[in-house]
Structure 1
């Protein structure tokens, strides 16, 4: 009895047959799709009961791709979290990594003033009518907003630091910060509307904070710069030997920029003194620290004229340039 030989079908023939079957299925599928309306195609895409597909994928397919992205983004999030954790281990929340000359802001603190025009950031014109409360109240409110943390110290962060009343003979210790007493501002207080209703406005000056910066004072009455105003020189020289520590101050002067401005600006009074006392420095970002302020009261500025005013900070390590506004601040004053 002869054995039958099995005839093997070449794989190439099977592949050809599969292609024909696939083409036939595609043809009938296109034919079926042509008979469907647009809304029916959308519904079938959302849920295809024939193939058990949701949005073109089966539940198994969706679970696989969902698991993949869950693992992928989970590992990515974990990697970012680890990198951020390592990064924050190199930082101190209170001490900047780059200080003074190595920092972007450098070692030359800028001088700022309040109030500032709110509607135009590029403008430095303080323009008000003392006889119109609605008009000048805008400036008063802006000052109050700036001084809020000075009038209500509880709003600032509190930690282990202690707030004390400092003096030149009693500077703060390592865990203390100096108080800024609002009662020292004299006529420049909120009860008097900062004198805007009297056409004798108060401007508040502050020195920008630079961590670790310590001023080099003009404390030698025999070694003062030539361009220092004569009145300030006299003030420094009139400090008695008993009060010699008072010379350890970052001095402040405000003057008209031009001879006409000087005449129109009139007399000026500084509260609590004509500068920032040295015991507020260096700034070390302690809890409760508030920058010292100088309230500048312009007693009798001439109304109806735009007066150009320049206020300057005086210390040996504060560089000054009028063109670049270094070590000084400029604003205009106009009283209607």
Structure 2
């Protein structure tokens, strides 16, 4: 038997090698520069330009198909399942806002038209946006057509912001009220109860004795669709101290409207006002009263002493006038005059 076909005796193991494994070994033995860019075979990271084009088009087609499927089902969900008249994303309870402004302190002069007119215009614009004939509804607080800012009875409006789909849960009887409500709210519930209402209380302890009058009352008429004047109430401030900052804090009371004292507008809202009035006449009267109190003898002295005689020089503003020329005596006056005797210089003979 020829030697080239002879098989050694004994146990042996045949290792099967494929073409794939040989290719892997060849790539493993390549230097790192050849693995990134092989200029001989025109490969980048082991792929040719055509290979990179094929794999890019494949994944673009795949992800485009996935996005089309997602958009299709989202559109079906939004258009066919969710009611278009309902909100797609539910919000929390409604907040509060103040008109004519949400500034910390609103200051104006009652006797200056350029201060009063812009405030009244802002209120009219705010009420006209309600589309509920709100100006006539609150006409009782607008007797001077300037919402009281010219007659020292300013009116502010507190609006309960609109949240679609919000259904208020109200306190309908005094027994339902929580323990932390201020004193007097139970009497208000007894007086205005009978229909679901969101109640409002205002703390005017820092308002210097200011009287608060609510229009139409200290409440919002609660319903599933609160629109127009149902979301607004007016507060008129009477007996405001002039030229002083006053602050009022108002809170709304409903089961599903929490009150957060740290954030403005979440269940409570604070506003400040400063009514500036002209004080020139007042200061003159106070000075006269002070003079009368300190020196009571001054006033009688002014009454008993007659005014000084009229001096022509005073009427002329104190100017120095030239002296009038001396008039020569008339001939008759010269005849009446007796000649004086001449003094004697020689003794008589």
TM-score band, normalised by shorter chain: 0.5 to 0.7
2:42 alignment partner in structure 1? none
Instruction: Give 1:272 shift.
Output: 1.2
Query: Is 1:290 paired with 2:228?
Result: yes
1:199 alignment partner in structure 2? 152
Is residue 306–residue 334 contact of structure 1 (8 Å, CA) maintained in 2?
yes
Distance 2:215 2:203 in 1: 16
Distance 1:216 1:253 in 2: 17
Distance 2:209 2:255 in 1: 27
Instruction: Give 1:191 shift.
Output: 5.4
SS of 1:235 mapped into structure 2: helix
Query: Is 1:332 paired with 2:272?
Result: yes
Alpha-carbon displacement from aligned partner over 1:106-155 (angstroms, at most 9, x marks no partner): 2x2111110116xxxxx3221111111111211111111111234xx4xx
Alpha-carbon displacement from aligned partner over 1:187-238 (angstroms, at most 9, x marks no partner): 3238521111012111111111122222221211123233323233222234
Distance 2:209 2:108 in 1: 15
Distance 2:128 2:133 in 1: 12
5+ unaligned residues in a row in structure 1: which ranges?
A: 1-78, 118-122, 154-178
Query: Is 1:138 paired with 2:118?
Result: yes
SS of 1:222 mapped into structure 2: helix
Distance 1:126 1:226 in 2: 33
Query: Is 1:115 paired with 2:64?
Result: no
2:219 alignment partner in structure 1? 275
Larger Rg belongs to = 2
Alpha-carbon displacement from aligned partner over 1:147-179 (angstroms, at most 9, x marks no partner): 1234xx4xxxxxxxxxxxxxxxxxxxxxxxxx6
Within 5 A, what are the aligned runs for 1:1-336?
89=79, 93-98=84-89, 103=90, 105-106=91-92, 108-116=93-101, 123-150=103-130, 153=131, 182-189=135-142, 192-239=145-192, 244-246=193-195, 248-256=196-204, 259=205, 261-262=206-207, 264-278=208-222, 281-283=223-225, 289-290=227-228, 292=230, 293-325=232-264, 326-336=266-276
Structure number with greater CO (CA < 8 Å, separation at least 6) is: 1
SS of 2:106 mapped into structure 1: strand
1:167 alignment partner in structure 2? none
Instruction: Give 1:312 shift.
Output: 1.2
Residues 1:214 and 1:254: Cα distance change in structure 2 (over 3 Å): same
Is residue 201–residue 298 contact of structure 1 (8 Å, CA) maintained in 2?
yes
Is residue 203–residue 296 contact of structure 1 (8 Å, CA) maintained in 2?
yes
Is residue 127–residue 334 contact of structure 1 (8 Å, CA) maintained in 2?
yes
Residues 1:223 and 1:93: Cα distance change in structure 2 (over 3 Å): closer
